[in-house]
Amino acid sequence: NAGVTQTPKFQVLKTGQSMTLQCAQDMNHEYMSWYRQDPGMGLRLIHYSVGAGITDQGEVPNGYNVSRSTTEDFPLRLLSAAPSQTSVYFCASSQRLTGEQFFGPGTRLTVL
Amino acid sequence: SQQGEEDPQALSIQEGENATMNCSYKTSINNLQWYRQNSGRGLVHLILIRSNEREKHSGRLRVTLDTSKKSSSLLITASRAADTASYFCATDEYGNKLVFGAGTILRVKS
């Protein structure tokens, strides 16, 4: 099992550009989440999904869009990148929404 | 902010010593979890303790939970250089999502 995979590992964008961060899991987990990690602030929930076709907002959803067409994939879209979105992004999956989370390796995003 | 709080922010100890870090939260919970993050990597789940449990062990890890004080502690005994990492607690105090603390940076010197 690969677990949770994320691509790309690193990305540099210019302000206003859009891009999609990919996340996939092969554990057949119903629940998937996106977090951002900023220095000294721990992880903050951006969006989450409780199954294919069902998504909801987390604590910091503005500027991000998600969809979940399959159980395996949960991409995160940045609509118009801003410097405030410079962060490390982690995808996670779990068997229960607030149970043990399995994290991907992260995507380090810099917006210039 | 919905974040929990951890202390200390940073901890530096010698190999073989014990390390204790603490986590506090604001409302009631069903469970509290601890995660480890090595530099530049994703978080790894260490242990989950339910609200009706007071103590839980896993190898060299001991977690306690005091719901009356809304706090938890993680004890790592006989620490090793490989334990150097950031440690985060996470609670489900807001229902349908996990809330992570800001973390404790542990450095174990060999």
Average model confidence (pLDDT) across chain B: 93
Give the pLDDT band (50/70/90) at residue B94.
Answer: confident
Chain B residues whose CB is inside 8 A of the A102 CB are: 45
For residue B69, give both structure tokens. Answer: 């004080």
A35: left (phi over 0), alpha (psi -120 to 50) or beta: beta
Looking at residues B96-103, what average pLDDT do you find? 88
Find out whether B67 and B79 touch, Cβ atoms under 8 Å. no
Q: pLDDT at residue A68 above 90?
A: yes
Gap between the terminal Cα atoms of chain A: 36
Question: Which pLDDT belongs to residue B6?
Answer: 87
Closest by Cβ to B41, choosing from A35, A56, A105: A105
Q: Do B41 and A97 touch (CB under 8 A)?
A: no
Confidence of residue B3 (pLDDT cuts 50, 70, 90): low
Lowest-confidence segment of A50-64, A91-105, B90-104 by average pLDDT: B90-104
The tens digit of pLDDT for each residue in B37-56 reads 999 899 999 999 999 999 99
